[in-house]
């Protein structure tokens, strides 16, 4: 798969300002060199402008404001002093609800990857057992994976390729390269770079280390010492720094 095929799926997210700074910069660098993808970007922009222009403008009926004000009087006039106190209580509760931290898309993805690593094979994903990078690549393609991770065997460095996995996170396909290091399984999940860069994660004895390469994100997940995951990361060529 060429660079364009990995970049075009994230153009819409770029237009909606949903990409991480790293992913946006990567796409912008590609756009500066690729006329074909620039045409795709401009086409999406024209479509967005056309939709906004075609959207009908609807004016509120005359007197609607007065009707609303008559039906929705202030709490203190409608219910007395207790109404004002109730209004403040509701506003406070609503504000607190909005201020409660919620997991980001990256946080939810990391939780899904850890769960996929921990559950028995076949429970939530498909798996192919083979040490052949070519077979794994073809198997990924046969499962409808639309991006191509680097499938490499690092047996000489102590990381033997054992197979591949295909699972899903929030409706998106996620693939994994399965490695063995001194009897310890390590899953290296691969996703398009539409996710924000994640800091190192350590949950319940499971460690996650991530890096970017060629428009994709790699997520090494294992119960091994975190330094082992860093050693595996360093084996991959052309790693974004």
CATH homologous superfamily for the domain 105-233: MucB/RseB, C-terminal domain (3.30.200.100)
Q: Report the alpha-carbon angle 79-83-84, nearest 5.
A: 130
Q: E strands within the chain?
A: 126-129, 160-169, 172-181, 184-192, 201-203, 206-213, 216-222
Q: CA 116, 121, 122, 127: dihedral to nearest 10 degrees?
A: 90
Higher pLDDT, residue 167 or 197: 167
Work out the pLDDT band at 241, boundaries 50, 70, 90.
Answer: very low
CA-nearest of 89, 106, 90, 118 to 185 is: 118
> Does residue 100 have a pLDDT over 60?
no
Give the separation between CA 36 and CA 144, rounded to whole angstroms.
24
Work out the pLDDT band at 1, boundaries 50, 70, 90.
Answer: very low
Tokens 């490695």, residue located: 179
Give the separation between CA 30 and CA 7, rounded to whole angstroms.
8
**Residue 212: how many CA atoms within 13 Å on its side-chain side?**
22
φ and ψ at residue 62, rounded to 5 degrees: -60, 135
Provide the pLDDT for residue 81. Answer: 57
- Chain-centroid distance of CA 217 in Å reads 9
Least confident of 16-25, 123-132, 139-148: 16-25
pLDDT, mean of residues 3-29: 79
pLDDT, mean of residues 165-182: 87
φ and ψ at residue 106, rounded to 5 degrees: -65, -45
Give the separation between CA 115 and CA 97, rounded to whole angstroms.
28
Provide the pLDDT for residue 146. Answer: 82
């Amino acid at each position: 798969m060429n660079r364009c095929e990995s970049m075009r799926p994230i153009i819409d997210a770029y237009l909606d300002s949903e990409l991480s700074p790293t992913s946006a910069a990567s796409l912008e660098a590609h756009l500066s060199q690729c006329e074909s993808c620039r045409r795709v970007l401009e086409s999406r922009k024209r479509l967005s402008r056309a939709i906004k222009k075609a959207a009908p403008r609807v004016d509120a009926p005359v007197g609607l404001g007065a009707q609303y004000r008559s039906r929705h009087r202030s709490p203190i006039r409608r219910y007395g002093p207790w109404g004002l106190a109730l209004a403040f209580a509701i506003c406070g509760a609503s504000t607190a609800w909005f201020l409660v931290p919620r997991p980001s898309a990256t946080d939810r993805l990391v939780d899904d990857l850890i769960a996929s690593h921990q559950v028995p094979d076949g429970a939530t994903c498909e798996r192919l057992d083979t040490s052949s990078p070519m077979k794994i690549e073809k198997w990924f393609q046969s499962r409808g994976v639309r991006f191509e991770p680097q499938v490499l065997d690092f047996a000489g460095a102590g990381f033997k390729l054992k197979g591949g996995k295909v699972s899903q996170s929030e409706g998106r396909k996620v693939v994994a390269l399965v490695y063995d290091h001194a009897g310890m399984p390590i899953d290296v999940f691969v996703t398009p770079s539409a996710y924000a860069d994640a800091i190192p994660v350590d949950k319940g004895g499971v460690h996650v280390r991530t890096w970017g390469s060629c428009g994709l994100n790699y997520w090494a997940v294992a119960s091994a010492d975190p330094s082992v995951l860093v050693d595996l990361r360093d084996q991959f060529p052309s790693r974004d720094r």
